[in-house]
Amino acid sequence: MTFFDSQQVPSKEQVEGAKSTIARMLQELDRYNPDNLPFLENFVDLQCRANFYDLEANLAVLKLYQFNPLVVKLQIIAQILLKALTNLPHSDFVLCKCLIDLSHQSDRTIDTIMRLHSDLETCELQRVWSTLSSELREADAVVGFEDAIRNYIGIVVNMTYQRIDKRMLCEFLNVKDKDLKTWMDRFGWKAQGVNDIFIQNHEESIKTKSILEHITFETVEDIMINCR
């Protein structure tokens, strides 16, 4: 039984109905009943098609795979990991990875996703886009995936740069010059001259912090006695 026809775009009503059904399922005492697995697997696919995310449901799938290793579907694991990447910089990916058996992590697709996560964490951004275009076509089935990655990269740029060359920023985001303005507007970046983009003045966001500690005689009395 499925929530929707996998060959069609799910409607808003189907999505909301699926969310409610899964939420009730996860609140029940037998949330790890293997009979729930087909519904949860279908819900993972629905997340990919309808561009929403439910970490709790995805962790339940991985936990059920731990309990029932004979029914593991590597495609579902790959989808769960890809959805976790869309929620960077949160630690969802690490949580999911901890529930995946090492034998499954050697699968070509899953291993590629693991490397993609590492490249994102270490900001090997050109390698990220190269991997997505040549080695990880599975990401194409996750609606909104590339824009979610661009959003994460934008967060990293915000934390790292005050100014950046426009061409370099386009390479980081893997967008053409004409599409860059959308991301500039989203993050509040401003064009500065012909080739530079102003990100933000980090010096203005630095705030001094005064620490006031109230020390009473009783606090140091024992120390003074021991020092005699």
Q: pLDDT for 43-61, tens place per residue?
A: 999 999 999 999 999 999 9
Q: Residues 6 or more apart from 206 whose CB is under 8 A from it?
A: none
Fold match, 1-142 / 161-228: no
Higher per-residue pLDDT: 178 or 219: 178
Cis check for the bond before 10: say yes or no (omega within 30 of 0).
no
The answer to whether residue 2 scores a pLDDT higher than 90 is no
Instruction: List the domain boundaries for the chain.
Output: 1-142, 161-228
Query: CATH topology for 1-142?
Result: 1.25.40
Integer Cα distance of 194 and 177 in angstroms: 12
Q: pLDDT for 71-106, tens place per residue?
A: 999 999 999 999 999 999 999 999 999 999 999 999
Are the CB atoms for 24 and 49 separated by under 8 Å?
no
| 24 closest CA partner among 36, 7, 10, 6 | 36
Q: Which CATH class is domain 161-228?
A: mainly alpha
| 200 closest CA partner among 169, 171, 159 | 159
Q: What is the mean pLDDT of the chain?
A: 89
CA angle 24, 29, 30 (to 5 degrees): 90
Q: pLDDT for 139-188, tens place per residue?
A: 999 999 999 999 999 999 999 999 999 999 999 999 999 999 999 999 99
pTM: 0.84
Q: What is the pLDDT of residue 201?
A: 77
**1-9: which pairs have CB atoms within 8 A and are 24 or more residues apart?**
1/38, 1/39, 2/38, 2/42, 3/39, 3/42, 3/43, 3/46, 4/42, 4/46, 6/42, 6/45, 6/49, 9/49, 9/50
Q: Residues 6 or more apart from 165 whose CB is under 8 A from it?
A: 195, 196, 197
The answer to whether residue 4 scores a pLDDT higher than 60 is no
